[in-house]
Amino acid sequence: MALATCGVVLTSINTLIASYNVHRNVFIQDTLHANRVYATKLADVTELFLQSVNSQLNVSSYHIAGHIQEGTNVNSELKRLLSQTNSFDSLAVVDATGTIVAVEPSLPIIGKRISTPQLDQVSLQKPVVLEPFISPAGNLMISPTYPLFSNQGQYLGFVAGGIYLHGETILNTLLGKHHYADDSYSYVIDNNKKILYHPNSQRIGEKIRNNIAIDLVLSGKAGSTELVNSVGKPMLAGYASIPMTGWGVVSQRPLNSILEQLALTYRSVVYSSIPFTVVILGLILSAGILIAKPLALLAKQLAALDKPNFEATNVSAWYYEVANLKYALLQSNRAVRQVIKSLDMDRKTDQLTSLHNRLSLEHWLESSIHSEAGFSVLAIDIDHFKTINDRYGHCTGDKVLKELAKLMRQNARVNDFCCRVGGEEFLVFMPGQTLNEAMHTAERLRKLVSQHVMPAGINITVSIGVSQWRSNAMRIDTAIEMADKALYEAKRTGRNKSCCFEAA
């Protein structure tokens, strides 16, 4: 009873600890997966937004390129673009020399030149997103650009859209709030590891160092990892890159929030399992007493076994000795049956090839007669087998027989009956197969044997006779005789072939 009690208590504790560790790993893996998926979704949304911005600037570039010297028309197009979309906080047109020629909304920056690094970024005359910079109005912003070309293909400059990174901006709207309602958050970084978006606006523009997720995402990878953030807090982070710009999106959740949630869950589990454990211990105690009493009584009775007043009938029928005796008898009975079955199997199995023998064949044919299920017969004989024995010895000949039996089993169906009837002669019975199907099977086996390299590098061929027994339309031994005649016909007409005789 003490062992049983300790077993229940220790098992319960072990189960709770093991379950906690398993669920802890599952929670972590699920959170890592969720953050990776969420980061990928944010990256895809941002990519779509930048593609949309690029398309809008592309459309406006056609209108602006033809009127770049006409300030009124250029400003009208910029106003139109600002009014039809909330993608931009401002728009500007810059000529080929880097001089700002138009801006909306109106700012005192017309005639000013953009910085040299920005000129370098647009020098390829392709759509690019300028690295974050401080606008003349004092706002940290990014700027998607699209080049302007004349009808003759001359580069005229570019149109640029300004997107603020602080305040209620389009990026805030797109990236939104994290799907976990705790200290989880997402942020976006550029190629220089500067924060473009962060729920804490004071961190926008900050450069992050020593962050494995940022290093991985800026190398173009997507995935998830455990890390310690810049303030020393363990986090579970998922990350994905934005192909168009090479920026990275990182979505992360504090490890502590998961462990707190898991702790609450397991506190409830422990509290709910205590009543059940107490009931189990009570049942163990009661069952232990009920078991111990008849065992003690039986032990006393067995001590007085040689006395005339021995009485075992007053011992309960479920006591240990009777149950153990019953178990031993059942086990012995099973063992005897297994031995008999094994002996019977040995009696019906060919010792060399492990195929069925003639005795097993007789039982199978008898059951086939009673079931009246038709079958086809293959009579198989190895061509010139005596030559193999004479040349290579009987040991090699036995190996060839074993290998042929193996090929027969591989070629047979589950319910086909393969047997060795003597020497190099074999029979295969195939229930439910027509004569034509049996011929196809025989030819497949014959070709397989002729192409197979036997032990000692020997190549052999077989001749096969085929016949069919259709229920009680004829005697089974007649069908076997017809298969033998077909076999002899195959040997007489050249060997390594299959012949068939059909019942009249």
20 confidence band (pLDDT: 50, 70, 90): confident
Name residue, tokens 């962060």: 198
Least confident of 86-100, 127-141, 471-485: 127-141
Question: What pLDDT score was predicted for residue 443?
Answer: 93
Neighbouring CB atoms inside 10 A of 487's CB total 24
Whole-number percent of the chain with pLDDT over 70: 86
Q: Where are the chain's structural domains?
A: 27-269, 348-500
* Rounded (5°) CA angle 209-212-214: 65
- Three-state SS letters, 338-367: HHHHHHHHHHCECCCCCCECHHHHHHHHHH
Task: Return the pLDDT at 462.
Answer: 94
Q: How many CB atoms lie within 10 A of CB 337?
A: 10
Select the more confidently predicted residue: 150 or 400.
400
pTM above 0.85, yes or no: no
Q: What percent of the chain has pLDDT over 90?
A: 21
275-289 confidence digits (pLDDT tens):
888 888 888 888 878
The one-letter code for the residue type at 205 is G
* Of 267, 247, 314, 237, the residue nearest 39 (C-alpha): 237
pLDDT for the residue 405: 93
pLDDT for the residue 504: 47
- Residue-wise pLDDT for 436-465, tens only, equals 999 999 999 999 999 999 998 999 999 999
Which CATH architecture is the domain 348-500 placed in? Answer: 2-Layer Sandwich (3.30)
Can you tell me the distance from the alpha carbon of 345 to that of 339, in angstroms, rounded to the nearest whole number? 10
Average pLDDT of 141-160?
88
Instruction: Decide if 27-269 and 348-500 have a common fold.
Output: no
Is the confidence at residue 470, as pLDDT, over 90?
no
Residues 17-46 have a mean pLDDT of 88
pLDDT at residue 417 in the model: 93
Q: What is the pLDDT of residue 331?
A: 66
Higher pLDDT, 185 or 471: 185
Q: What is the pLDDT of residues 330-363, one digit of tens each?
A: 465 467 678 777 777 778 888 899 899 988 888 8
Residue 433 predicted with pLDDT over 60: yes
In terms of Cβ atoms closer than 10 Å to its own Cβ (0-12, 13-18, 19+), residue 412 is middle
CATH number of the domain at 27-269, please? 3.30.450.20
Alpha-carbon span 411 to 293, nearest angstrom? 64
| pLDDT at residue number 310 | 45
Q: What is the pLDDT of residue 329?
A: 45
Q: What does the longest C-alpha to C-alpha distance in the chain come to?
A: 131
Q: How confident is the model at residue 130 (pLDDT cuts 50, 70, 90)?
A: confident
Q: What are phi and psi of 151, to 5 degrees?
A: -60, -25
Tokens of 305: 């076994």
pLDDT tens digits for 67-109?
777 767 888 888 888 888 788 888 888 888 888 888 888 878 7
Predicted pLDDT of residue 336: 63
pLDDT at 191: 85
CA atoms of 426 and 396, how far apart (whole Å): 18
d(C-alpha 427, C-alpha 405), whole Å: 11
What would the mean pLDDT of 488-497 be, rounded to a whole number?
A: 92
Contacts 24+ apart (CB under 8 A), 175-179: 175/42, 175/45, 175/46, 178/38, 178/251, 178/253, 179/34, 179/38
Which DSSP string corresponds to 443-470? HHHHHHHHHSPPGGG----EEEEEEEE-
10 Å CB burial of residue 226 (0-12, 13-18, 19+) is middle
Question: In the structure, what pLDDT confidence band is assigned to residue 114 with cuts at 50, 70 and 90?
Answer: confident
- β-strand pairing of 462-469 with 498-500: parallel
